[in-house]
Structure 1
């Protein structure tokens, strides 16, 4: 897991979030307010819900972020996290402690390099299967 996590505020703009993602070479930022995780913004959220919908770069992240936050706990083993990622079809998850404070981000790549590559490959296949679950059609 990565513990050096950049967090966006809901009032940050799409442009600032995109710039932050470019700076850290990531496509995902947790969104927090008052130390509480309230959403996730991805490069896809910005592209589909923002740019494709005609929103200007000054649009707040709150308007394009995903409010349904999926996460895992720091104490969970990698098999459980991989199964969870497969089930909910995501490539990365915020990691929280028992008090639900953000402590890091875990990605499918982290899990593939730290364990059974075949298991991570199967999980990635499940994550990539077609589904309306994450559709962002405009």
Structure 2
């Protein structure tokens, strides 16, 4: 099975120049904990609820004035929509993350693959990812570089 068959299509996104407060509200309103950060149709980062708290609020940034780019993670773990599903799971394990961005071959964001998406297809694959979860590190090779 390919990643594109299991992923969540049309992930909610936010721009890098939007306020941190707007990102927090969008997460609250949609019930999610992470937003891909896109400029035009290019993925430039990821912001999580934890980023907002740790890199934003705890660092003294005013959520209404600070921008998403001030707290986002520029290094994003990604795979391609035509990759095998196992590749997406492997990247989650390798980088200790619970979601990877899914790009087309022109490196445009087309979706998001989460542990929940994996569980819908293979509980065993999802369990392996969860079992290997730990604090994330900054990814640097294919599948973990800035997507732009």
The TM-score with structure 2 as length reference comes to: 0.83
Whole-angstrom CA distance in 1 between matches of 2:31 and 2:9: 15
* Structure 2 SS opposite 1:123: helix
Match of 2:76 in 1: 69
Residues 27 and 11 (structure 1), Cα distance of their counterparts in 2 relative to 1, 3 Å cut: same
| Structure 1 segments (4+ residues) deviating >3 Å | none
- Which runs of 5 or more structure 1 residues have no equivalent in the other structure? none
Match of 1:119 in 2: 125
Question: Is the counterpart of residue 30 in structure 1 residue 30 in structure 2?
Answer: no
Count of residue correspondences: 131
By relative contact order (CA 8 Å, sep 6+), the higher-ranking structure is 2
Residues 73 and 132 (structure 1), Cα distance of their counterparts in 2 relative to 1, 3 Å cut: closer
* Structure 2 SS opposite 1:81: helix
Question: Is the counterpart of residue 102 in structure 1 residue 109 in structure 2?
Answer: yes
Residue 122 of structure 1 deviates from its aligned partner by 1.6
Whole-angstrom CA distance in 2 between matches of 1:39 and 1:94: 10
Whole-angstrom CA distance in 2 between matches of 1:85 and 1:132: 10
Q: For residues 33-52 of structure 1, what are the structure 2 equivalents within 5 Å?
A: 33-52=39-58
TM-align CA RMSD: 1.3
Whole-angstrom CA distance in 2 between matches of 1:79 and 1:34: 29
